[in-house]
């Protein structure tokens, strides 16, 4: 569980481990790729510079709102594509993997997940504090210069930084789990399913 903010659609398209875990067929992958092409064409459109429309006399801020709404509608449509391409078993496993990657902090923003766990107001306050602290620590570490005079030293320093961030997240998750009751822990375990390890930061060894 090393990657915060996992996007299920991105995992389906670009993670070999997830594709293998779900047992995606070539036909399913092809359908997802076709939907992905449409997604990026719309993404390009939504990122176009906003200019007033003389024919409609819309102010720039209204144009921004319209484009944002169009983009959000397409995001929802993309979620629908996943539901139509994947089987029920694959969809359930993808949800479990996404939860594992995002970690318990996701329950702060997703009420559909928080409600079954019956997170109390006091727990929500403490989890929010822990997650905010984690975010601030990871941002500070990410912005810190990677020291080293040689390429090898910088590579090793970067990997050490990555391990520190990974440990920060693991420690935070453990603190959050310590707040849960035994019943909440059991329910959380059922929501995330069997452990799945994904390490997208794996790379070649540092040069000597």
Residue 127 lies in a domain: yes
H helices present in the chain, as ranges: 8-14, 16-22, 26-46, 60-85, 88-102, 111-117, 121-143, 151-179, 182-192
For the stretch 144-174, what's the b/e string if a residue is b when 16 or more beta carbons lie within 10 angstroms of its beta carbon?
eeeeeeeeeeebebbeeeeeebbebbeebbe
pLDDT at site 52? 40
Domain tally, the chain: 1
Residue 37 lies in a domain: no
Terminal CA-to-CA distance of the chain, rounded, Å?
Answer: 29
pLDDT at site 156? 82
- CB–CB of 39/78 below 8 Å? yes
Q: For residue 22, with 0-12 CB atoms within 10 Å meaning exposed, 13-18 middle and 19 or more buried, which class applies?
A: buried
Residue 187 lies in a domain: yes
pLDDT at site 22? 96
pLDDT at site 3? 39
- CB–CB of 104/173 below 8 Å? yes
pLDDT at site 77? 65
Residue 55 lies in a domain: no
Residue 169 lies in a domain: yes
Residue 171 lies in a domain: yes
- Of 78, 84, 7, 8, the closest CA to residue 41 belongs to 78
Residue 134 lies in a domain: yes
| Dihedral sign for Cα atoms in the order 5, 103, 8, 141 | positive
pLDDT at site 69? 59
Residue 49 is classified by DSSP as P
Residue 116 lies in a domain: yes
pLDDT in tens, the chain (208 residues): 333 456 787 888 888 999 999 999 999 999 888 876 655 444 444 434 333 444 445 444 444 455 545 555 655 666 777 888 999 999 999 989 988 888 888 877 777 777 888 888 899 899 999 999 998 888 887 777 666 667 788 788 888 888 888 899 899 999 999 999 999 999 999 989 999 987 655 555 666 5
Residues of the domain holding 137? 103-200
């Amino acid at each position: 569980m090393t990657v915060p903010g996992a996007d299920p659609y991105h995992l389906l398209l670009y993670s070999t481990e997830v594709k293998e875990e779900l047992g995606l067929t070539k036909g399913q992958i092809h359908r997802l790729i076709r939907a992905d092409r449409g997604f990026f064409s719309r993404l390009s459109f939504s990122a176009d510079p906003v200019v007033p429309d003389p024919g409609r006399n819309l102010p720039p801020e209204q144009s921004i709102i319209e484009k944002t709404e169009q983009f959000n509608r397409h995001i929802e449509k993309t979620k629908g594509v996943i539901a139509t391409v994947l089987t029920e078993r694959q969809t359930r496993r993808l949800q479990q993997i996404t939860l594992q990657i995002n970690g318990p902090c996701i329950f702060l923003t997703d009420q559909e997940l928080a409600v079954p766990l019956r997170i109390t107001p006091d727990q929500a306050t403490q989890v929010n504090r822990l997650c905010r602290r984690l975010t601030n620590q990871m941002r500070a570490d990410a912005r810190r210069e990677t020291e080293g005079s040689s390429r090898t030293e910088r590579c090793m320093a970067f990997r050490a930084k990555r391990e520190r961030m990974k440990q920060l997240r693991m420690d935070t998750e453990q603190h959050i789990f310590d707040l849960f009751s035994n019943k909440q822990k059991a329910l959380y375990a059922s929501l995330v399913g069997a452990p799945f390890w994904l390490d997208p930061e794996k790379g070649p060894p540092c040069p000597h």
